[in-house]
Amino acid sequence: MVAISLNALVATAKAPVTDNYFFWAQFKGLCNVLSQGGTAIGAPMMRGTTAGALATADSSFKEVATAHHTAITGEYRPVILDIP
């Protein structure tokens, strides 16, 4: 998954996307994303500072997902996306 960002997380792509190409983006439901930092099941997630990653929410960015599994930095783990 690749996080698509326009000053805010708007969706995740199912695969890397070449500039100016058409693709499907996911913004709700279960999907794998890159983890930044450790997460616990049920933890709220937000945009991370690592490109394409989500981190445990600390109120500096809007919550966009809930951790579905525990994770450590650099792992791709399931989250439940809820990007408005």
Rg, Å, the chain Cα set: 12
pTM above 0.75, yes or no: no
pLDDT in tens, 9-33: 556 666 677 778 777 778 899 988 8
- The CB-side HSE value for 32 (13 A sphere, CA atoms) comes to 7
